[in-house]
A and B are shown apart, each in its own frame.
Chain A
């Protein structure tokens, strides 16, 4: 029966080509625009670690007091050295790591001997299991290496290729800023977008992924300066110069991430943060009562405005366009169906039930939706290509067309058109056969 409905639908649509074409165009443009915007939005708003994001948290400690807060009234995004170290020492979460960006260079052993600049991070050993960093060879380092500030390193896949031709380099030594570090692990290609472990310094997108991870204390001991952002309170510029001065200052430059496995642990950690801040208040370091935050990873990415406003707004604009197109389709379908009141009357008089008439018209709407979806697919393809051309540099290549997007485009087109066709179809099925037959 359904096949028959489809056949009738195609015939009827052929009969009024102009109107059909208009509806197909409307739906095609609506779907094409909204899917293009969605592809870009999906690329930048995706969860970089969906299986674990609900258990990762970023603490913020109000280290500067209420007078230093901007208009948002939020405490600083990063931690001061003293606070980060205290949190690491207390070790209240299941896993945790203080993180700061470093930019050392490595001297390759090949003939060129030109130093290669690296994007790296100084972290604690728990960083790797906490974020499920994938390893090709070896693994991260242990807590003993953390405590000693041992000269060990985890290197990225690209750097391993560059230095060791992609071989298992665990146990070999790399010369970084003039010091030897023993390789304990080689990562598989790992470049989560956004770079959620340090959005404060990376801004979220772009780059080829981290080349290098070093133990936090080893990097501090080597005097490897912070390559990320540093913020200091007004009048709170470091008393002593240089990196040592930064460490003893109230300036914030360390990102912190903790793994908390259940609601009780989250509650406990929140309490602990407040206790810590109260303790600092008692000691006279903070002259204000605690105002801390503990945000889950998704909330944190949101707080850091990782998705550009422009992307969200264009998504909304495109959705608005889809809505206009659908409303238009409702109107056009209604006129199209009701123009055939005579035909409906005959069918009803010959014994077709109301639901059969309704189904027939819904099938017609679905055919239009299908055609609109096909056009929408085509336009989405062009749209994503065009978006890649015009997006800012660090977002280029993120938006792409894949099977799920194609299916979604067709599904949205068909479902939306059927939804739009629902009222017209019901209305058509209510046509009184007697009236229609009489007027003819």
Chain B
């Protein structure tokens, strides 16, 4: 061991450069990969919506003057429902993948120390049906519940709610959520909602630093929101073949019914849900490209750097290696020594890099709204760097091992 460590201190510069490179690469790659993983969450998580190719969404519908009364919207929804080929119609205040109107807030469970979750709310009629959400427990809203007219958005009022399984497990851990009551905020007079149903998945429409759990914290409230200035209409076609016909008829119906009362110059948008999802995912996808590109380049550049430096250092010590060979060291000994040396240097770099990664993460957390780097990243990062280090050193080490003993006798 001593014959490996000592030279490291005698020729400080080469090992130091390798160590610094590894440390920096480790720190940056750990943070970049962590950011990458966060950006991947909305892309790879299920949004719960069934058959997105049959779901038509009409949004950006702006009334001139006062918002439309709910009775009027209900009547338009009935007209839309009468279109042949339509399976289900919703009038909603907010919608998955629609970020113009977001309703989010802290929701609390029961008990003296209730669990809390930042949750997205979708308020509208027949949303479970139209979104094609899979009910895993309980029931859908009843016709009576759908018909209730709440004051305003209904966020302060009592009533029923359908929540996702992830939210149910978070708020009411270790049990059946059905029949339990959640509170909308921590105020004493906050609205209370009784859970009547649990759906498998439903992605929220506020993306941030989510993990696979909290991106699924959403719930549904029944009925059309009162006094809501931007209603959203969603139609589910019975089959993919009928989508085009339904879309055309829906455009005509909305134009006929609400067109004259809309603000001139603001046109409603008609989109397939799948396209909305694509649009929302464009930015995280771009970030994924950027971050994976950066991580890849950082790691590649580091491997190349280690390779270059080690092969030079090996070349420098050709004669010394020759002497050791002449004194009886086997090829395997030389190979192992170079690899061990690399292991030590890279290991030192990793230790420094972990500290640095943590410091960068702390700094980012302080200045930007970023989450804490989970410590599970560190061993994975360390293993990856060690592996890359060994990979990089393989060719110089083999070259060192091939040095014939005879060089010891030459030109000394």
What B residues does A374 contact at CB under 8 A?
A: none
Within 8 A of B (CB), among A110-138: 114-117
A147 within 8 A of B: no
Closest B residue by C-beta to A234: B187
A332 within 8 A of B: yes
The answer on a CB contact under 8 Å between B368 and A309 is yes
The answer on a CB contact under 8 Å between A327 and B305 is yes
B40 within 8 A of A: no
The answer on a CB contact under 8 Å between B17 and A324 is no
A338 within 8 A of B: yes
A29 within 8 A of B: yes
B329 within 8 A of A: no
The answer on a CB contact under 8 Å between A439 and B411 is yes
B290 within 8 A of A: yes
A172 within 8 A of B: no
Interface string of B279-297 (1 = CB under 8 A from A): 0001101110011011001
The answer on a CB contact under 8 Å between A313 and B304 is no
CA–CA, A390 to B283, complex, Å?
A: 6
B223 within 8 A of A: no
CA–CA, A19 to B304, complex, Å?
A: 10
A318 within 8 A of B: yes
The answer on a CB contact under 8 Å between A324 and B24 is yes
What B residues does A6 contact at CB under 8 A?
A: none
CA–CA, A403 to B32, complex, Å?
A: 31
What B residues does A317 contact at CB under 8 A?
A: 28, 31-32, 35, 290-291, 294
Chain B nearest Cβ from A172, distance in angstroms? 22
Closest A residue by C-beta to B291: A317
What A residues does B13 contact at CB under 8 A?
A: 334, 427
Segment touching A, from B71-79, B234-242, B259-267: B259-267
Segment touching A, from B87-95, B134-142, B191-199, B308-316: B308-316
What B residues does A42 contact at CB under 8 A?
A: none
The answer on a CB contact under 8 Å between B291 and A327 is no
Chain B nearest Cβ from A137, distance in angstroms? 26
B115 within 8 A of A: no
What B residues does A392 contact at CB under 8 A?
A: 283
CA–CA, A309 to B39, complex, Å?
A: 14
The binding surface of chain B is classed by DSSP as helix
Within 8 A of A (CB), among B25-50: 25, 27-28, 31-32, 35
Most buried by A among B32, B283, B308, B364: B308
CA–CA, A363 to B236, complex, Å?
A: 68
A330 within 8 A of B: yes
Closest A residue by C-beta to B27: A320
The answer on a CB contact under 8 Å between B312 and A335 is yes
Chain B nearest Cβ from A203, distance in angstroms? 12
The answer on a CB contact under 8 Å between B298 and A116 is no
The answer on a CB contact under 8 Å between B369 and A327 is no
Known: A313-B370, A317-B35, A317-B294. A114 touches B301 (CB 8 A): no
B218 within 8 A of A: no
The answer on a CB contact under 8 Å between A338 and B312 is yes
CA–CA, A62 to B357, complex, Å?
A: 40
Known: A309-B369, A314-B290. A328 touches B265 (CB 8 A): no
The answer on a CB contact under 8 Å between A324 and B302 is yes
Interface string of B137-156 (1 = CB under 8 A from A): 00000000000000000000
What A residues does B263 contact at CB under 8 A?
A: 105, 117
CA–CA, A331 to B305, complex, Å?
A: 7
The answer on a CB contact under 8 Å between B25 and A331 is no
The answer on a CB contact under 8 Å between A324 and B298 is yes
What B residues does A338 contact at CB under 8 A?
A: 312
What A residues does B282 contact at CB under 8 A?
A: 390
Chain A nearest Cβ from B294, distance in angstroms? 5
CA–CA, A327 to B286, complex, Å?
A: 27
The answer on a CB contact under 8 Å between B308 and A332 is yes
Given B14, B294, B411, which contacts A33 in the complex, CB threshold below 8 Å? B294
Given B18, B291, B297, which contacts A331 in the complex, CB threshold below 8 Å? B18
Closest A residue by C-beta to B23: A327
Chain A nearest Cβ from B36, distance in angstroms? 10
Chain A nearest Cβ from B194, distance in angstroms? 25
Q: List 7 A-B contacts (CB under 8 A).
A: A325-B297, A327-B24, A328-B21, A334-B14, A334-B17, A339-B312, A390-B286
Enumerate chain B interface residues (CB-CB to A < 8 A): 13-14, 17-18, 20-21, 24-25, 27-28, 31-32, 35, 263-266, 282-283, 285-287, 290-291, 293-294, 297-298, 301-302, 304-305, 308-309, 311-312, 315, 364, 367-370, 411
10 A-B pairs with least C-beta separation? A390-B286, A335-B312, A328-B305, A320-B28, A309-B368, A331-B17, A117-B265, A331-B309, A328-B301, A331-B305
11 further A-B contacts with Cβ under 8 Å, apart from A105-B263, A335-B311, are A22-B304, A117-B263, A117-B264, A313-B35, A313-B364, A317-B291, A321-B28, A321-B298, A324-B302, A325-B301, A390-B286
